[in-house]
Amino acid sequence: MTGMKYIAALALACTALAQAPATLTVAGDLPMPLKLTLADLAAMPRQTVKLPNPNGGDYTYEGVALFEVLKRAGAPNGSSLRGAALASYVLAKATDGYQVAFTLGEIDPSFGNTTILIADHRDGAPLSGNQGALRLVVPNDHEGARSVRMLETLEFVRLKK
């Protein structure tokens, strides 16, 4: 390998390592903990959300509803999301240690009246760079701080059993 080619290969390897791992771990107090690959997410029901692009126009994020992924792991939903189950939350954790908690009630669109999205594409292209392969999109938030980039793990916690 020539010097230039070696440096190019090394740069590529470093970029790959810096990316969020392309799997989502769904862990915690759930009947069916999951590890989802990008291919698994691609095969689930897909949704899009538009967010204003600060440079003008809109971004279109595409992915799977956070609620859909939790349902698949066996989290309470529909008529079972009542009473004690509403004292549950999800901690969304990123590769850089960033963490944000969402209550299960606000994640269910029939309570929170919004769809929090686990996005893997923006404007048709896979997410990359400091977004990681996966990020949350929280459409009704005025602040960006709950939009966890480089999403790696969802941890489900029941406060009341």
Point out which residues bind ligand MTE (CB under 6 A).
Answer: 94, 96, 98, 144-145, 147-150
E strands, the chain, are: 23-28, 34-37, 47-52, 58-65, 88-94, 99-103, 117-122, 125-126, 135-137, 151-158
Nearer to ligand MTE, 38 or 87 (CB): 38
Smallest separation, CB 67 to Mo ion (Å): 24
Considering CB distances under 5 to 8 angstroms, the limit depending on partner class, which of Mo ion, ligand MTE, none binds residue 148? ligand MTE
Closer CB to ligand MTE, residue 19 or residue 77? 19
Q: Tally helices (H) and strands (E) across the chain.
A: 5, 10
111 binds, among ligand MTE, Mo ion, none (CB under 5 to 8 A by kind): none
- How many Cβ atoms from other residues are within 10 Å of residue 56's Cβ? 6
Contact 153, 83 (CB under 8 A): no
Q: 147 or 153: whose CB is closer to Mo ion?
A: 147
Query: Which residue has 């980039």 as its token pair?
Result: 149
Give the CA angle between residues 108, 118, 51 to the nearest 5°: 95
Query: In the complex, what is the shortest distance from the CB of residue 11 to ligand MTE, in angstroms, rounded to a whole number?
Result: 23
Q: How far is the CB of 26 from ligand MTE (least distance, A)?
A: 17
Residue 85 token pair: 């189950």
CB of residue 35 to ligand MTE, shortest distance in Å: 19
Which positions lie near Mo ion, rule CB under 5 A?
144-145
Residue with Cβ nearer Mo ion (32 or 145): 145
